[in-house]
Amino acid sequence: MTDPSRPPICVLGLGLIGGSLLRAAARAGRAGFGYNRSAEGAAAARAAGFDADTDLDAVLRRAAEEYALVVLATPATTLDDLLPVVARLAPECVLTDVVSVKESVADAVARLHPGARYVGGHPMAGTSQSGWAATDPDLFDGAMWMVTTEDGTDPDDWLTVAALARDCGAQVVPAANDAHDRAVAAISHLPHLTADATAAVGAGESGLALRLAAGSFRDGTRVAGTAPALQRAMLEANRIALLNTLSETIDRLTVARDELRDRGSVEIIVDDGHRARLAYDVMASTPAPPIVDVEPGEQGWAAEMRRQAHLGHTWQR
């Protein structure tokens, strides 16, 4: 192994994200193998030429032998069962995850694998599909991949996780766990709830309404098609941040209703929404500036990275 930040990867859970990650890493020439609970999923991965097994103990023993980077890619609800096994069989491996909410995963790791060399991660990519059949080696190309960057984060382990994100085609967004969780509540979890509500109201109106539904309904409710168990695991794990953002949304819609009822106007909500979408369009259509003038391990590196990330910069090395 010539590059210490690029060990083999061991992916636990070969669904949409975990399976795509194994394929994306292989595309970049990284060695890797995986575990999947269901025999069907493991067989599908093997049929596609990947090294996949349903024997968790065997997979983790091999990870320990190869000093692999272990990637938790199973639903958040499974971590309480999984982490003690990782702690027992692969305690020295660098550990990351691709689970949405970061504070709850960090809490579980601290509780069940307290000595872990853990650096959290969250690739901002996905579809409403799930399972190995939906995996795509290009899923992360150009995506943002949050990597936990706290004042106590080990810089070598951070570089190991960041290299995985880069090898998968993503840009690295350094962030503290709590800031990440508030951000994804606003731009990922809330959109699931508004999509769910919009879908339910639209479908409840009439068969005529569903027949007339076009682009605004199709796009606005797309993520309501995500498997309910996945939506619930993601949203319920981020309860506090989601409550805040949901309350703000209810407040905005209530003001809009009152304005529409009393003045016949939707000016405020439309103007605010339009301005916000334009701000997003500008950011999405502009290449992210690279994080510069800071190296992992330098004095204050984590705080400086977070500062630049808050300006919209990303780690691109």
Q: Which of residues 190-249 bind its own copies (CB under 8 A)?
A: 190-228, 231-232, 235-236, 239, 242-243, 245-249
Query: Binders of its own copies among 30-59, rule CB under 8 A?
Result: none
Q: Which is nearer to its own copies, 152 or 218 (CB)?
A: 218
Q: Which is nearer to its own copies, 201 or 292 (CB)?
A: 201
Report the distance separating Cα 290 and Cα 294, nearest Å: 11
Encoded tokens for 111: 């509780």
**Nearest to 288, CA basis, from 125, 166, 180, 143:** 143
Asked if residue 77 binds its own copies (CB under 8 A), the reply is no
How far does the chain reach from its first CA to its final CA, in angstroms?
Answer: 20
Query: Binders of its own copies among 89-118, rule CB under 8 A?
Result: none
Q: Contact, 131 vs 21, CB < 8 A? A: no
The one-letter amino acid code at 121 reads G
Asked if residue 292 binds its own copies (CB under 8 A), the reply is no
How many residues form the binding site for its own copies (CB under 8 A)? 102
Report the distance separating Cα 11 and Cα 7, nearest Å: 12
Convert residues 151-180 into a mask of x (bound to its own copies by CB under 8 A) and - (unbound): ----------------------x-x---xx
Buried b (16+ CB within 10 A) or exposed e, 87-116: bebbeebbbbbbbbbbbbbbebbeebbeeb
Supply φ then ψ for residue 211, to 5 degrees. -70, -35
Q: How far is the CB of 175 from its own copies (least distance, A)?
A: 6
Encoded tokens for 45: 């991965």
Asked if residue 138 binds its own copies (CB under 8 A), the reply is no
Q: Which is nearer to its own copies, 39 or 279 (CB)?
A: 279
Asked if residue 265 binds its own copies (CB under 8 A), the reply is yes
Q: Decide the pairing of beta strands 9-12 and 171-175.
A: unpaired
Q: How far is the CB of 265 from its own copies (least distance, A)?
A: 6
Question: Burial level of 243, CB count in 10 A (0-12/13-18/19+)?
Answer: exposed
Asked if residue 311 binds its own copies (CB under 8 A), the reply is yes
Q: Tell which one of 150, 269, 303, 316 touches its own copies (CB under 8 A).
A: 269
Q: Tell which one of 80, 151, 272, 295 touches its own copies (CB under 8 A).
A: 272
